[in-house]
Structure 1
Amino acid sequence: MPASETPASETPGDKAPVVRAGRTEPEQVGIFSFVLENDLFYDTDRRYTNGVRLTYLTPKGGEPAWLRDAFLALPMFNATSDIRVEYGLGQNMYTASDKLQADPPANDRPYAGWLYGSVGVIASTDKGNGSRVLDQLQVSLGVVGPAALAHETQDFIHGIIESPKAQGWDTQLKNEPALQLTYQRSWQSAPFTLPAGFALDATPHAGAALGNVFTFANAGAMLRFGQNLPVDYGSARVQPSLPGSGYFQPVETFGWYLFAGLDGRAVARNIFLDGNSFADSRSVDRRIVVGDVAFGIAVIVQDVRFAYTHVLRTREYETQDEADQFGVFSVSFRF
């Protein structure tokens, strides 16, 4: 058998080594992802102004046995899936529309920060004929309020880039423990092959979130078009958003795709608009229906995936004067 070939009997769940580009390495490896969402990409610096998230996705079989068994007891997971555990750490920050006002108007978005750690499981299941299903279940625990250190983080970054500092952090939401449960399912179609090595596929999704941070139900879809399409479900994102994942399988040398997607949410709670659950705080009248339009490009070079996404988000509260937009940069690499 030539050295560049992989035995047909091997599957993504096998432990056998894969020979690729003249080197031998284990197929099952961990995946590290970094995500940065920021509106400074479009020179706005307001409302949802920054989100950052670091995650580590275990190799298949690298998770604690008790955790794997607990998730396998749930009806959406089964032992034939490529199941991995994801550990994450993230921080979100929100400011008023005019960050130079020390006492923003009562009808403007409250200042707030959210710092959290998360643990979750993802399961990629091959349904045959090239179609796949991805299930993602995540639990996060953290804090909203001054203890989230959003004020200090933003001042530090703005000092480095010499940007004016936001003046309204004394009005931010009060400290509150934050517990969040999120579930998403994505159905990826078999790729439709086109001439010259091009292909496209579609991935509808649906899900829900429950907690004192976000409570919503959501649905949408994403289209991909490119060459040498990798097995993935879109780049990693910060919730709430069009779902993506750190999960991806490598390509021989180089692959890329353009993508565009929609996500609609029916929102029952958003602490960053509704205010604190158990204490008096600033709040605004939340809109029930919120939508995201996202489009961008992903490039995969062997074991590394880079992606950039432009997001347009509809107005989230009644007195918001216009829709928001922000950029998302992410990088995921297998090691």
Structure 2
Amino acid sequence: MLKYIIAISLTLPFFILTDANAADVLSPSSSWGQFTFENDAFGVLEPSDDGYTNGVAYSWGEAQVNSFEDVNIPAWLHYISDWTYINRGEDGSYTVSYSIQQGMYTPTNLEEESLIVDDRPYAGVLIWQAKLRQFDKNVATSLIIDVGVVGPAALAEPTQTAIHSVISATMANGWDNQINNEPVFRVGSEYVKRLADFPLSDSIVSDLNFYAQAGIGNLRSDVSMALIFRLGSGLDETFSLVSPTASHSANPYTLVSGHGFYWQVFMSLHGRYVLNDITLNGNTFEDSHSVDLIHEQNQFSLGFAMRWESWGVLFSTLRGSKQFDDQQDDTNFAAVSISYFY
């Protein structure tokens, strides 16, 4: 799969040069929707079927506005934003997005029905997320709120069973050992700084971005930093959506002001310190299966994003260090997102 990514990366500049300003200046899309599918079975290097084994998400949002008062969000989110850093009056632009995300985590041996003590717990996560974003020319900040549930109520077992039957993957037999039901939450903050940009032609630019985030909650508490390099078109309008885990953000071209063909390739180096992760530490308020978390973690990601008129595609692959003691395989998964702008 890596050779296909390289081939696409090398041929995209020729497409853009043959249609140098394909992005006609039209009014931007007012809304967007995005479906994301993540799976470790089609990771680029040494694909496996364990750890973070599968994820699905649907996200949606609206175009940017110039005043936070014009953001269409529930009153309680307005109340929260009014006393946080995210509301800067008319200084900059604002967007809001939402998503429903389901994640599935399994040990290495899927055929074993009994509890595997020295491997990660079976865990399912189902969350609703709201993300408020403020940005100007070179700096973006975000406020993120996650609420949901882990355990059988997250419905990870039937979802994974359905997906594995479609892709002919091994069925997991140990879901009776998953962690128990528990409400989860996380409040997080993101900061993005566009450090430098390097124009290569009238339509092609490369840039370097600094990313930092911190979050707290029984779902996960962590801090991290990353450097993200990009090459492509329309980068000045899309830097605020960069993320070292690209599939967990919107297609960057949700913010472009024109229609036509856009493309970019990206690469990130990401280091983080994780204080707690319920999918590894187990339930917070009662005993359940758990493993010893490795607090220091790092990740490498690469991928590409495109938009043509009303449709967008994002592909990313991520490889990371081990997340718990005695972990057999490194973290490794890939993701595809399909977006529609309307």
Q: Same fold (TM over 0.5)?
A: yes
Match of 2:83 among 62, 70, 73: 73
On the 8 A contact 1:191/1:200 being kept in 2, the answer is yes
| Among 96, 100, 103, the residue aligned to 1:85 | 96
Counterparts of 2:74 and 2:331, CA distance in 1 = 43
Closer/same/farther in 2, CA of residues 325 and 155 from structure 1, 3 Å limit? same
Q: CA deviation at 1:242?
A: 8.6
**Bigger helix fraction:** 2
Equivalent in 110, 124, 131 of residue 135 of structure 2: 124
Structure-2-length-normalised TM-score? 0.82
Partner of 2:20: none
- Call closer, same or farther: CA 1:235–1:155 in 2, change over 3 Å: farther
The residue type equivalent to 1:115 in the other structure is L
* Matching residue within 48, 51, 55 for 1:51: 55
1:63 aligned residue: 72
Could you tell me which residue of structure 1 aligns to residue 267 of structure 2? 260
Deviation of the 1:244 alpha carbon: 4.0
Matched residue, 2:121: 110
**Counterpart position of 2:9:** none
Residues 153, 114 of structure 1: CA spacing in aligned structure 2 closer, same or farther, 3 A cutoff? same
Give the drift of 1:159.
2.5
Between the two structures, name the one with larger relative contact order (CA 8 Å, sep ≥ 6): 2
Give 1:280 deviation, angstroms. Answer: 1.0
Aligned to 2:330: 323
Deviation at 1:65, TM superposition (A): 7.4
Question: Does structure 2 conserve the Cα–Cα contact (< 8 Å) formed by 1:121 and 1:138?
Answer: yes
1:143 aligns with 2:154: no
SS at match of 1:258: strand
Which stretch shows the higher mean deviation, 48-57 or 244-253? 244-253
Report the Cα distance in structure 1 between the residues aligned to 2:248 and 2:167, rounded to whole angstroms.
30
SS at match of 1:191: strand
1:62 Cα shift? 4.5
Separation in 2 of the partners of 1:329 and 1:236? 16
Question: Could you say which residue in structure 2 is the equivalent of 1:213?
Answer: 219
Aligned to 1:97: 108
Structure 1 stretches of 4+ moved >6 Å: 234-237, 239-243
**Residues 58, 101 of structure 2: 8 Å contact kept:** yes
TM-score for the superposition, normalised by structure 1: 0.84
Alignment check: 8 A CA contact 2:40 2:49 kept: yes
Return the match for 2:194 from 178, 182, 188.
188
Gaps of 5+ in 2: 1-22
Q: Check whether the contact 2:247–2:336 (CA below 8 A) recurs between aligned residues.
A: no
Quick one: structure 1 residues 103 and 109, their matched pair in 2 at CA, closer, same or farther if it must change by over 3 Å? same
* CA contact 1:241–1:292 (8 Å) conserved in 2: no
Q: AA paired with 1:218? A: S
Deviation at 1:319, TM superposition (A): 0.6
Q: 1:205 to 1:248 in 2, by over 3 A?
A: same
* Residue correspondences, number: 308
Pairwise CA distance, 1:180: 1.2
Q: Kindly tell me: are residues 314 and 252 of structure 1, through their superposed partners in 2, closer, same or farther at Cα, counting changes over 3 Å? A: same
Map Cα deviations across residues 46-72 of structure 1 (whole Å, 9 max, x no partner). 110011221111233341374446424
Aligned to 1:282: 289
Deviations 1:260-291 (A, max 9, x none): 00111101101111111011111111101111
Q: Which runs of 5+ in 1 are unaligned?
A: 1-19, 127-131
Q: Deviations over 1:4-30 (max 9, x none)?
A: xxxxxxxxxxxxxxxx748x5x43612
Q: Percent identity?
A: 27
Does residue 166 of the first structure (1) align with residue 169 of the second (2)?
no
CA RMSD in angstroms, aligned pairs only = 2.5
Q: Tell me if the contact between 2:146 and 2:185 (Cα under 8 Å) persists in the aligned partners.
A: yes
The Cα of 1:160 is off from its aligned counterpart by: 2.8
Structure 1 residues 283, 69: closer, same or farther in 2, change over 3 A? closer
Change in CA separation of 1:125 and 1:196 when aligned onto 2, cut-off 3 Å: closer
